Chains A and B, each alone.
Chain A
Amino acid sequence: KAGVTQTPRYLIKTRGQQVTLSCSPISGHRSVSWYQQTPGQGLQFLFEYFSETQRNKGNFPGRFSGRQFSNSRSEMNVSTLELGDSALYLCASSFLPGQGASEKLFFGSGTQLSVL
């Protein structure tokens, strides 16, 4: 069974551009969450999607958005990139929302975004 797949692994953009990151959850998983990881800040929750609906959103500006497709694949978009958006973006999946805690949350290897 394939794990959580994130593409691309690395991305370099310049300030003001926009970027789209992709995440394919484990087959059968319907909940997808996104986290931003920066040195010294740890992981911070961006949002969670289930059945194509955003269930929960973290404390990030509106430049950060996401969506989920009918096959559970998810994308996140960051518009008008800033230097501070440089980070590792991690995607995680579970069969149902909340099962990441009661069961297990499966993470991908992330997309490393560098904003120049």
Chain B
Amino acid sequence: AQTVTQSQPEMSVQEAETVTLSCTYDTSESNYYLFWYKQPPSRQMILVIRQEAYKQQNATENRFSVNFQKAAKSFSLKISDSQLGDTAMYFCACNANTGNQFYFGTGTSLTVIP
């Protein structure tokens, strides 16, 4: 089994500033994927970014990037130039060859302040 821990229940950031959300995970598998999902008030989960464990290079998607520290089992999300539309719940998740069974953290509620 896998476990995912998000230790920051709530965070806030000023518009246009940078914020980092933390996530640690644990798995005994050697091949796995890590994800950050965003859940706005509409409730629909939206994939923000994905990292394959065997890739050493950190994934980036426009203003979103990750800091993947495999040995430390850490997977943080950095949001640059924060926008009001980034206000949402953010979930970190892990999948290790378990079909579509993902293991999610408890989430971080991010508020972007104008």
A interface list, Cβ under 8 A from B: 3, 31, 33, 35, 40-45, 48, 50, 55-56, 58, 88, 90, 92, 94, 97-102, 104-105, 107-110, 112
* Chain B: number of interface residues, binned into ranges: 20 to 34
Residue of A nearest to B1 (CB): A59
B interface list, Cβ under 8 A from A: 4, 6, 33, 42-47, 91, 93, 95, 97-107
- Are B95 and A101 neighbours in the complex by a CB distance under 8 Å? yes
* Cross-chain contact of A101 among B33, B44, B105 (Cβ < 8 A): B33
- Are A42 and B105 neighbours in the complex by a CB distance under 8 Å? yes
Known: A88-B43, A109-B43. A42 touches B101 (CB 8 A): no
CA distance A101 to B103 in the complex (A): 11
- Are B99 and A97 neighbours in the complex by a CB distance under 8 Å? yes
Residue of A nearest to B5 (CB): A42
CA distance A44 to B2 in the complex (A): 12
- Are B43 and A55 neighbours in the complex by a CB distance under 8 Å? no
Known: A88-B43, A105-B47, A108-B44. A43 touches B104 (CB 8 A): yes
* Cross-chain contact of A56 among B4, B98, B106 (Cβ < 8 A): B98
Question: Residues of B contacting A104 with CB < 8 Å?
Answer: 47
Question: Residues of A contacting B100 with CB < 8 Å?
Answer: 31, 33, 48, 56, 92, 94, 97-101, 105
Question: Residues of A contacting B104 with CB < 8 Å?
Answer: 35, 42-44
- Are A107 and B101 neighbours in the complex by a CB distance under 8 Å? no
Known: A102-B33, A109-B43. A43 touches B99 (CB 8 A): no
Whole-angstrom distance between the Cβ of B57 and the nearest chain A Cβ: 17
